[in-house]
Amino acid sequence: MRTEPRDETLGALLARAADEDGTRVYLVEDGKAITFAEMKRRADAVSSSLLRRGYVPGDRVAIAGTNRSAWVEALLGVTQVGMVLVTLNVRYRREELAYMLGRSGAVAAITPSVHQGFDLASLYLDLTHELPALREVFFLDDAPGALSFADLATGDETDLAGVTTAVKAEDPALILFTSGTTGLPKGATITHRSIIASGRAQAEHFGMLPEDRMCGHMPFNHVGGVTCTLVASLTARSSVALLENFTPRGAIDLIAGGGLTVFSGVPTMFVLMLADPSFAALDASAIRLLVAGGANVEPSLLAKIRGAFPEANICNLYGLSETSGACIISPLDDSDTEVASTLGTAIGNFELRAVGPNGAPVEADRDGELQVKGDCVVAGYWEDPAASSAAIDADGWLSTGDIVSIAADGHVTLRGRRKEMFIQGGYNVYPVEVENVLTSHPGVAMAAGIGVPDPVLGEVGRYYVVPRGETAPSPDELDAFCRERLADYKVPREYVFAKALPLTPVGKIQKAILTTAVPGEVRKMGTTH
């Protein structure tokens, strides 16, 4: 009997694709095609190797890597036998990694040994001594004397049927860390059901066909890459052309020669591509669909995109880690005016509502906090019942923290973020996490961060710093301090040094009035590109 889609797992989804469309191409990497059948074989090798090494269903295996086929092999090989993939950014450093690996109880990690000149091998091997649960690290490239992912991925396959069929749709598939107002990352527990529900709803909304090909450049450790690209394409039996890291020229070249029909990106990516000199000669006629995630496409940018891709549908896509991927997308027949002013409408059978401060739904066109309900909603936060119950109520409604209005026809307009998070170049940045690092510097007494507009990245972090003592640390000193402790996209781009910050009667910093209440020179760091 065929598995009903709602009860399907990632392993079952891959097995059906390999059985029914095995010769179809799933991934294209460096011009080489990887079919669904070949991906199934590679995933089986990873699964078998992990089981032979003593790992069992329920174990957490972490991965930090760029968008390569090995990442996909790990995703499917780990999850199809009931293990849980912990998705990490390759740019995370010691404090972030120690917390996330420790919090998730990861027993193994997969990572490059070096990334952009940074010695990850030494860092991860040190962590195996600091974290009791972390048993082994498998390196995606050559690390003399260390374990290799290549050996893990080429092991002899064994009969996995008894293990894969025991995995249930409600079981955890991924732990994806996302921060909140406390500044401490929380592990969103994405289930097989929730990630497939979001990916399938997106594919069906877009009418994706096996002939479609997406650009695989959105980071796979984020739902924009893993759900909106890999899983959506797996459900549609369409293909993904891998781009290891986004660059404007790389994306333009892939559109020109990669047979793409669908291109997704955050608005910053479109800004950079349109500004690249090589874009003028691009024939983009094969692109039928452009998708902008992370923020609305503002009118002037939309006009430029429309001029460059006159035949393509242009859509917004809204989702978050806690919805496992997309939950709101522009209808394909929306006008440019609607795309520029709204996020879109609910996809699949997901439900939306806006609620007031008392938790009661507000009327149409009235502002309230967006709540989402449906199979896309995660199971909660990993081993954090208090945070889980605060985010998802007993009826399954997820509170997003975003303030919206919902029209009578279902179109959602984003008003602002209740949370302090801002989006820099497509990456979520949570000021409290950065503030905690800044205030750990011996020369900093207080710090408060906000997102401010930037013409290229959309928003960048501006941090107001009160020195501890008479002499303030220099911006360069703080920059170096943060870069040792944070991923580079979280490092402040602007500083304002102040004698004091505005406080509420109970001692909280009034961030809403920082720009007007705190005079001072804005010290900009580096470049915004």
User: Tell me, what's the pLDDT at 181?
Assistant: 44
Q: How far apart are the first and last CA of the chain?
A: 53
Question: Does an H or E element contain 519, and which?
Answer: none
DSSP code string of 462-487:
EEEEEESSSSPPPHHHHHHHHHTTS-
Return the CATH superfamily for domain 5-191: ANL, N-terminal domain (3.40.50.12780)
d(CA 414, CA 78): 37
Common-topology check for domains 5-191 and 194-354+398-417 = yes
Structural tokens at position 250: 């790389």
The domain segmentation of the chain, as residue ranges, is: 5-191, 194-354+398-417, 422-524
User: Tell me, what's the pLDDT at 416?
Assistant: 66
**Residue indicated by tokens 């401060």:** 357
pTM equals 0.84
d(CA 327, CA 202): 8
Q: For 154-202, how does the pLDDT look when each residue is reduced to its tens digit (9 = 90+)?
A: 877 777 878 999 999 999 999 999 865 445 789 999 999 999 999 999 9
Question: Which residue stretches of the chain have pLDDT < 50?
Answer: 1, 181-182, 505-506, 528-529
User: Tell me, what's the pLDDT at 17?
Assistant: 98
Q: Which amino acid is at 252?
A: I
Q: Which CATH architecture has domain 194-354+398-417?
A: 3-Layer(aba) Sandwich (3.40)
| Ramachandran angles phi, psi of 149, nearest 5° | -65, -30
Task: Give the count of alpha carbons within 13 A of 357, CB side only.
Answer: 0
Instruction: Note the CATH number of domain 422-524.
Output: 3.30.300.30
Within a 10 A sphere around the Cβ of 250, how many other Cβ atoms? 15
User: Tell me, what's the pLDDT at 329?
Assistant: 98
CA nearest to 26, candidates 180, 236, 225, 198 = 236
**Residue indicated by tokens 């849980």:** 84
